[in-house]
A and B are shown apart, each in its own frame.
Chain A
Amino acid sequence: MNLWDPRTDYVDPAAGAAPADAWATAPDALPRPEVTPPQVTSYGAAELAVACDIYPLGMQAALQRAPRFKVRTAVLNAAAPKVVSIPIGRTSLKVRSFLFPALTEALLAKQRGQHLPPPPAKPQPKPAPHGEETCERRDARRVRMRPPRDIVKLEDRLMYLLEPPVESWLARESLSFPFQPFPYQLEGIAFLYPRTMAVLADEMGLGKTMQAITSIRLLLHSREVTSVLLVCPKPLVTNWKREFALWAPEVPIVIIEGDQAKRRFQWLLPAPVKIANYELLQRDQELLLDRDRHFDLVVLDESQRIKNRGSTTSQIVRSISRRRSWALTGTPVENSAEDLIGIFEFVSPGYLGNHMSPRQLGDAASEHVLRRTKDKVLTDMPPRLFRDVEIDLSPEQRESYRLAEEEGVLRLTEMGDSATIQHVFELVLRLKQIANFDPATGESAKLDRLRADLEEVAASGRKAIVFSQWVWTLQRLARELQAFNPLEYHGKIPPKKRDAIIEEFRHNPKRHVMLISYGAGGVGLNLQFSQYVFLFDRWWNPAIEDQAINRAHRIGAAGAVTVSRFLACGTIEQRIDNILREKRELFDTIFSGAEPGRKLGLTQEEVFGLFQLKCPTGPIKFVA
């Protein structure tokens, strides 16, 4: 018999199980049905059909009782599903904005009703006559400006950082150039333009003038500056005037010159660029330092002129009211590190000090100094060929030299502690003069050698320049070298005639030789059409000699430049030459970061040591 056991087929979820006595307590009167478990589809109480078997157990009465069910209600826990919303939304985005002066200028121009036409297409400038650099080559590496470290305001840094590459800026502005600038010159412009403190210390002949003028030009065009004062040695004023006409023909310049009334008027003119010479600054000090006079930029050419901080010139230029200070020099260190410190007193007062080692000086100055040499940037520049021409004096000249030296040394010895450095110098100069020309006989082994060399120069149709530190030596040479039709360029030639002399030397093929003093012709002259340089006597300072050599070996030089350094054997000249070599090492130390190989400067002991003399007093710093 199949029994449907409600305890197993129906479970009250609330009770968990059917009561144990559910069927056992069924009424006895009910017959026991033969049933199979019904197919129950609903468990509602009213429809419940319960099947059960009844067994004759003597408990019918009990079986006849109706079954009792306990009903418990179970609540199904089926709440509605929760919804989670994920916001995508816009993320907050902050913007930093920078507006630049060019915008202000454009808006002002627009207000004034000025139309700003786009720059006209213009032909590419021709390449430099000696250069093979092409536009295509340069496009590969654009020159960008970099803000110097001393500019801290982000807006100012971005202003320079976002300027276009220098070459495309120059191309887009209506700026004409006689020649394509070299890449290193563009780098020089990118260096100068953003700087308030700068020393452009390129080797002579690399075009510092052009770089300075172009930087000034761009600053004027962008209205970053409106008033510029350029100070240079007097002989170079006409050179600057000429270079401005060449590289910035649209920029009006005023040369400060003439009598005081005229100069007073010139100082007051609103010209964007004024050019004055160092000598004049002292005379116009009162006008220059007027409380109302201010320059956006002051540029010092040949700034080694202010290396001596105590000099009047240095004090005056440092007193000029200005916002930017640039120094141009090919020789930032002529004698000692103090030269550089002196220049920086103008560029950035107090930035460098005597307490700093050469390496510290070099590190500190590096941010503000740009120094390139021809060897590094003009790889296609014709070479300089140095010839140290050791000359044996004639017996007579040798004898004159020997007597003069012995006599001079004897006198110095007798002077004992009263001998000064000046006394030693006098002897040095005397001996150098004898090495040039024997005062007794007029003989000159150097002249003989020079004459022989010049014959070769003239025969080949070339030109040569001869340097000496003495005018009288040059005049003597002029007389002796008449066969070569020499020209003279020195302190006794009136400045007004000097430009004409240069032009005569440049264009007259019969003029093979120009005799130049280190003082008058050491700087600013462009004599790149000369293939030979003769240093008839030696200067104390290698930087001065370099300047002289670079009159010929500079941009535009058509071929190799041969430099002949005359050296009278066994004389003071050889001893001086050793000193020059050591000074050159000093320069290399500061600008290469290497430790100095020797004590800086030329001590008094060393000067006296030229003649094996004992130094009478303590050390002095520099003697030349």
Chain B
Amino acid sequence: MAAEAQIPALGFLTVVEDAEHGLFGGYLVLNLIGRPLEFHCTTPLKANRAQQILYGPTLAPYLYGEQIAQTLIRKGAVKPRTVFTDQTAVLAARQHVDVPLVLAVDDAASQPAGDATRRIDPPQTALKRFGWGRQPLAVDVASATDEQLVLDRLSDVAQDFDLLEPFGRIREAIAEASRN
């Protein structure tokens, strides 16, 4: 694990699925005015046949959370106050990292056709839902105590900080990196 610096920061992590290459993970750490401090992305990851059969419905949490999210968060130079994700399966990494992992729920977004980022349906994860300002959030019930921790850590963050917007940046950055 990289040495982690204590700088006020928020982490954003998402996974993009590419039909040809597999899963790309992206992890962006922002300061509290939204400027990038660091970015990490994985090489593509593809589940093999055995994993697909044997993990069954737990494949997505395994790949998204245990494999990708855990690896990315551990690469960070800065330890963010909280890591946000827009994919439920990523929450599985919580048991492997010591930073709260929160689902930023995009209630308004309907599943767009061809959106490759959510094509692996995670199993029904039991979520504890709560809100920060007008932004609905959720944590895995196994980490329900994170709710108060997260709210405390967001107390001095501007309430209009858009917690969903950075995921668009990550997707663009992954596309740019994969072109290189």
Contacts and interface: CB of A to CB of B under 8 A. Distances in A.
Interface of A: 86-88, 90-91, 93-100, 102-103, 106-107, 110, 116, 118-119, 121, 142, 144, 154, 157-159, 161-165, 168-169, 171-173, 222
B78 interface: yes
A591 B37 CA distance: 39
Given A86-B50, A161-B173, A172-B158, A93 B42 contact: yes
B121 interface: no
23 contacts: A90-B67, A91-B45, A91-B47, A93-B25, A95-B43, A97-B40, A99-B37, A102-B31, A102-B37, A103-B29, A110-B5, A116-B31, A118-B32, A118-B156, A118-B157, A154-B177, A159-B36, A161-B169, A162-B169, A164-B35, A169-B33, A172-B158, A173-B33
A158 B71 contact: no
Given A106-B31, A172-B34, A95 B172 contact: no
Contacts of A87: 50
Contacts of A99: 37-38, 77
Contacts of B165: 142, 164-165, 168
B162 interface: yes
Contacts of A164: 30, 33-35, 165-166, 169
A172 B42 contact: no
Given A97-B75, A116-B8, A158 B176 contact: yes
Contact of B37 (A94, A100, A144): A100
Interface of B: 5-8, 25, 28-43, 45-48, 50-51, 54-55, 67-68, 71-72, 75, 77-78, 156-162, 165-166, 169, 172-173, 176-177, 180
Contacts of B177: 96, 154, 158
A544 B38 CA distance: 48
A95 B72 contact: yes
B36 A94 contact: no
Contact of A169 (B35, B38, B55, B72): B35
Contacts of B37: 99-100, 102-103, 106
A98 B33 contact: no
A358 to B, nearest CB: 32
A94 B72 CA distance: 10
Nearest to B34: A164
B39 A168 contact: no
A121 B54 CA distance: 51
A164 B162 CA distance: 10
Given A103-B77, A119-B158, A95 B38 contact: no
